[in-house]
Structure 1
Amino acid sequence: CKVDAAPCTDVVQKLEYSESRNESQLSEFYKRIGVPAEILKSIAIVDTPGTNTIIKHHQEITQKFVPNSDLVLFVFPAKNPHTQSAWDLLDFVSEEWKKKVVFVLQQADLARPDELKTNIEKVKEYAIKRGIESPIVFTTSAILELEGKENSGFEEVRNFIHNTITGGKHLKLKLQSILDTSDQVISKSGESLNQLKATLDKDMAFALKIKLRLETGEKHSTYEIKSLVERLVSNYDKISYEVKDEFEEGLSIVSLFKRTFGAIFNKDSSIKNWIEELQKRFENNLKNSFEEIADDGAKHFLNGIRQLLQTLIDELDIKEQQKIKKDELYIKIGEERAEVIQDVKLKVTDLLANDSFTTFLNSNPSNLAPTAMGGGLLTIIGAIILSTTQIAFLDITGGILTGAGLLIAGGVLLFKKSKIIKQFKEGLDSGKTKFKRELSDKLNRKLSLIYEDINRSFIPFYEYTESEKNRLLPLIEKSKIVKNKFRILKNEIDSGF
């Protein structure tokens, strides 16, 4: 572009041969210019915005055009070749694409000889630090070139271009440049696929770990339920044993005569009242002791689940930090993985709150005590235990005691005392069996709902890993095939020149 105090190359300009000078704007950031210059019959020159200009999108455009170039000229002012943004861009060019890079210090006539010498050495130093072993540096002066003076430095640049690009070698160099770029793309793609495969292997191992943790957690919770039921049954045995003794003692001849004659003067001393008091006492003892055991059992049960969920959340935190490298080829994959992990983490975190479990534990509210309906998980589990307790044995024992009272009141005691006692004891034992079965069934059903919901929270992650495996493995195989074919093609081309 023409020399100006302000930035003038505001778009990418492609200079190509034309019989007459012309310009065409191909896009907002891309202009094609036809110039009647002999050198342009063999090559095309792409002039990009300077990396230190204020032009919008200049770096993005530059980085898209540079990889397709056969020769890259970095042009600096001879008096100040220290522009950081240009050297940052050189990191991209030399390391990513291994392009042929040369350096031009323009406006050399404005610098003192000692200043020019120092800056040439400085440019070489910067280039060597960035992996260019033998940097080539030219100094040019447009003023001297226009004046026709030999020391303008442009002849050296023209000779270099002729020897490397236009002097009959340009086709080979062009092909070699394409091969080098292709090699870099294939290698980079292979490395990225291998990184994705390594991440996928870790994700699949994590998915298996989750399933094993949930399986182990459910077994532990099942054990907690079994232990709780056994404690409740043991407590039932203890209280029913006391009731059995009291009932049998109450049917002794002495006790019966006392209650029979006492009832004449005081109705509260009747056999009927004794049966009713026995039943109330039995129910109260059961209720009080069962509430304490149910509360303690619910705490153990919940603590196990909470610890499991917290462990899963902690592991999801770690997994969330293991991000896929932000390679331009695979940014979308990394973003999808991060979104899935974040979604799963939020779901599991929500499960850790009581209200989430309440929905599942409250799935059959007709069987729960009304006081538990608005409570948390602890209250509801206790309510399940207590409601099951009531269903399982309170009605049964109430029927047994009431039936015994009717038999006694009917005057059949003297003839069937042993049978009544036997039926009473069998009724209590039968109530225990039914209680144990119903309580175990109900709690285990609720347990299954809880773990099904936890596992359901991880389904997006399971599906992601499976989908990624089905997508990635064929790509890796295709990448290997492409790499082998490229090696064969490269060897054939190398041997043909």
Structure 2
Amino acid sequence: MTPFLTGRKLLTERQEALLEAIRAALEALRAALRRFGVDVAPADVRILDDAIAHLDELFLLVVAGEYNSGKSSFINALIGAPVVAEGVTPTTDRITVLRYGDMPGEMVGGAFLVEYRFPAEVLRRMAIVDTPGTNAIIQRHEELTRDFIPRADLVLFVTSASQPFSASERSFLELIRDWGKKVVIIVNKADLLDDAGLAEVVAFVGRHAEDLFGVRPEIFAVSSRLARQARDDDDQALWDASRFPAIEQYISDTLDEEQRVRLKLLSPLGVARRLAERYLIAVEDRLAALRDDVAAIENIERQLEQFRSDLADDFQRHRAEIANILNEFELRGMQFFDETIRVSNLFHLARHQQEISEAFARDIVADVPQQIEARLQALIDWMVEKNLRIWQGVMDYLRRERAVQHRSGLIGEIGGTFEYNRNALIESVAREAEKIVATYDREAEAQALTDEVRAAIASSTLVGAGAVGIGALLVLLLHGALLDVTGVLVAGVLALGGLYIIPNKRRQIKRQFHQRVADLRETLTATMERQFNAELDRMITRIRDAIDPYTRFVYTQHDHLLTTQRELSDAEAEISRLQAEVERS
């Protein structure tokens, strides 16, 4: 069993079980925040660590309020001795923790914290904390108090009857509310008003407090000055006039052992819940940003796949057109052979091979190379233009993202490593895309692709093309289709006399010509398809490589944040469950 809260007794078994469950929930939240990474604010880590560390400590009653509200005088009246400094100007510049001790004594616990021991009966049941006044000219004073509030198990907020519930006080009470703390409001300096005026002030404070908290907190109007004087003079009438008996009774009776245990257990849960909610919002904000990134990456991928699909469709169309051109070329060639390779033309064939070859080139080959080259060039131009449009799409998206980041800045108040890395990657990829688009030379890209296609065709057909263009290369290939068969024709005719075999030879030549054109068609289209697909892969790979750091960051962070979101959600659910269980206890 763990010593806890009062110094008088141990926790019950049920309370002990709740305490350990709360400790486990807070540890789970700490693990989730650790997974979130370096962007967790160090102050939040410290707050959670403090909440865990103080689970076994005495009940902590924190007194807070503006510097001129009479906060320190209220504590002195409550303790029954001038243990903390008072004054009309800000006097408390450190957190002062008052604990029970048989002999008064001060222990410095740090630059901004001091512990004071005093033999007051109320300090046997709880530690009372005096905090620097808020809304003071010394900003550090308010920061100390704001930082300490998460450790409080109960906050007594002191406001002055002469200026109750000011705008700055409301702002500070919002902070207390957001940490899930129970608040009791002390309206001090009640002796400055008559009964009617005081009732009006208490009603005013009650209305605004209920509006802020959703429920009306306990409100006690007191005069710390009269209470101190009554204690000093041992004057019961003055003590009653100070209205202090009501707050004393609340602290001793209403705030009994069971209630203090409940508040002590609820306090770290309120802190943990706020942190869980805060970082869940941060995770969801980041996931929202990443969802846009994922959508953009998927859109780029769809464009790339559409690029591939469009090329396949466009290639099939151009392939069919080239096949038709070659089919017509073949038909003209067949007709040429029928009209040229005849018995009556035998001697002309033998003596005028050059003339026949020129006629074939002029009438049969004609502009076939130019037609095929035009189809290839159209496909090349389409690929080059499409590639540029995809780069422009990447660049435009990244430009928009940079503009959004410039307008919105970092998400929330949580550290910006995630945003910095994301923005740096967007900036890097955007610069690369802009550079490529700015220097994109359609003519040079098209010429490079043309040269690669020409070289591939020459290599596949074993034609030594040198530096000739695609059109000239096709002239060589198509004219070669005639030379392959006419050479055989002339040799065969001269060797065998020809008169009896010309019809058979013509059929043989036509078959060979058909096969030659078919081989050419297959080689040409297969080479083109292979080359264009290789070029497409190169273009797509270049785009993917350029955005790969950004893509990897997005998907890695997305998976990481989904895991963190699940852990934070589980922690929040367990914290909420424990809060409900403690409330029922």
TM-score normalised to the size of structure 1?
0.69
Aligned to 2:52: none
Q: Which residue of 1 aligns with 2:557?
A: 464
Q: Distance in 2 between matches of 1:216 and 1:95?
A: 45
For residues 81-160 of structure 1, the aligned pairs below 5 Å read: 81-94=164-177, 96-106=179-189, 108-109=191-192, 119-131=201-213, 132-133=215-216, 135-140=218-223, 142=225, 145-146=228-229, 148=233, 156=242, 158-160=244-246
Does structure 1 retain, via aligned residues, the 8 Å contact 2:294–2:554? no
Gaps of 5+ in 1: 264-268, 359-373
Q: Which residue of 139, 158, 163 maps to 2:249?
A: 163
What is the CA distance between 1:104 and its match in structure 2? 2.7
Q: Which position in structure 2 is the counterpart of 1:433?
A: 522
Residue by residue over 1:145-188, the C-alpha shift from the partner in whole angstroms, topping out at 9 and shown as x without a partner, is: 44847776787564234323345954333212113324535655
Q: CA deviation at 1:62?
A: 1.7
- Cα distance in 2 for partners of 1:438, 1:224 equals 19
1:235–1:257 Cα change, 3 Å: farther
SS at match of 2:170: helix
Letter in 1 for 2:212: R
2:157 matched to which residue of 1? 74
Matches of 1:255 and 1:346, distance apart in 2: 76
CA RMSD of aligned residues (A): 5.2
Q: What SS does structure 1 have at the residue aligned with 2:185?
A: strand
Question: What number of residue pairs does the alignment pair up?
Answer: 465
Specify the code of the residue in structure 1 equivalent to 2:112.
F
For residue 12 of structure 1, the aligned residue among 95, 100, 124 is 95
SS of the equivalent of 1:62 reads helix
- Give the structure 2 partner of residue 391 of structure 1: 456
How many angstroms apart in 2 are the aligned matches of 1:307 and 1:284?
A: 34
Q: Does 1:412 align with 2:494?
A: no
Task: Give how far 1:97 is off.
Answer: 2.0
Residue 31 (structure 2) aligns with: none
Distance, in Å, in 1 between the alignment partners of 2:486 and 2:313 is 39
* 1:444 equivalent in alignment to 2:533: yes
Secondary structure at 1:53 match in 2:
coil
Deviation at 1:88, TM superposition (A): 0.9
The 5 A counterparts of 1:46-85 are: 46-85=129-168
**Equivalent residue letter for 2:445:** I
Q: What is the CA–CA distance in structure 2 between the aligned matches of 1:3 and 1:343, rounded to whole Å?
A: 53
Query: Deviation of residue 133 (structure 1)?
Result: 1.6
> Helix, strand or coil: the match of 1:97?
coil
Does 2:318 correspond to 1:240?
no
Separation of aligned partners in 2, 1:26 and 1:176: 28
Residue 266 of structure 1 is matched in structure 2 by none
Matching of residue 355 in structure 1 with residue 433 in structure 2? no
Assess if the C-alpha contact under 8 Å between 2:290 and 2:558 holds in 1: yes
- Contact 2:369–2:474 (Cα < 8 Å) also in 1: no
Partner Cα distance (2:248, 2:291) in 1: 58
Contact 2:222 2:242 in 1 (8 A): no
Deviations 1:28-50 (A, max 9, x none): 32222344555444433211122
Deviations 1:387-424 (A, max 9, x none): 32563275576245247448757943856565555444
Give the letter for the 1:355 counterpart: I
CA distance in 2, matches of 1:280, 1:52: 95
Return the letter of the residue paired with 1:10.
D
Higher relative contact order (CA 8 A, sep 6+): 2
Deviation at 1:9, TM superposition (A): 1.6
What is the deviation of 1:52? 0.4
2: CA distance, partners of 1:100 / 1:189: 19
Q: In structure 2, what is the Cα distance between the partners aligned to 1:188 and 1:112? A: 41
- Consecutive unaligned residues of structure 2, counting only runs of 5 or more, are 1-83, 459-469, 499-504
TM-score (norm: length of structure 2): 0.61
Q: Kindly state the Cα deviation for residue 224 of structure 1 after the two structures are TM-superposed.
A: 0.9
Residue 463 of structure 1 and its aligned partner are, at CA, apart by 2.4
What is the distance in 1 between the residues matched to 2:227 and 2:255? 30
Indicate the SS of the match to 2:139: coil
Contact map agreement 1:199 1:324 (CA 8 A) in 2 = no
Summarize the Cα distance change of 1:142–1:170 in structure 2 as closer, same or farther, 3 Å threshold: same
Q: CA deviation at 1:319?
A: 12
Question: Could you say if the C-alpha distance between residues 200 and 116 of structure 1 is closer, same or farther in structure 2, counting changes exceeding 3 Å?
Answer: closer
| Identity between Structure 1 and Structure 2 (%) | 16
Q: 1:453-480: CA deviations, max 9, x gaps? A: 5484433332233334445546655665
Inter-CA distance 185–141: structure 2 relative to 1 (3 Å threshold): closer
Instruction: Give runs of aligned pairs for residues 307-326 of structure 1, distance below 5 A.
Output: none
Instruction: Flag the 1:387–1:199 CA change in 2: closer, same or farther, 3 A.
Output: same
Task: Name the residue aligned to 1:287.
Answer: 373
Deviations 1:261-303 (A, max 9, x none): 999xxxxx85566677787954444334532343245445765
Partner of 1:220: 306
Q: Matches of 1:100 and 1:462 in 2, distance apart?
A: 45
Distance 2:578 2:218 in 1: 33
CA distance in 1, matches of 2:520, 2:484: 20
Task: Return the alpha-carbon distance in structure 2 between the equivalents of residues 481 and 70 of structure 1.
Answer: 20
Q: 1:323 to 1:434 in 2, by over 3 A?
A: farther
Choose 338-347 or 91-100, whichever is displaced more. 338-347
Contact persistence 1:236–1:286 (CA under 8 A): yes
Range that drifts further, 301-310 or 390-399 = 301-310
Describe the SS at the equivalent of 1:54.
Answer: coil
- Maintained 8 Å contact 2:226/2:241: no
**In structure 2, distance between residues paired with 1:134 and 1:471:** 36
Corresponding position of 1:370: none
Taking the aligned partners of 2:391 and 2:521, their CA distance within structure 1 comes to 28
The residue identity in structure 2 corresponding to 1:412 is: A
String of CA shifts for 1:437-466, please: whole Å, max 9, x gaps.
Answer: 233233334444555654844333322333
Distance 2:212 2:184 in 1: 11
CA distance in 1: counterparts of 2:250 and 2:410, whole angstroms: 40
Query: Is the Cα contact below 8 Å between 1:103 and 1:137 reproduced in 2?
Result: yes
Give, in angstroms, the shift of residue 122 of structure 1.
3.3
The answer as to 2:479 corresponding to 1:401 is yes
Deviation of the 1:87 alpha carbon: 1.6
Q: What displacement does 1:430 show?
A: 2.0
* Residue 179 to residue 220, structure 1, CA distance change in 2 (3 Å): same
Verify the 8 A CA contact 2:180 2:267 in the aligned structure 1: yes
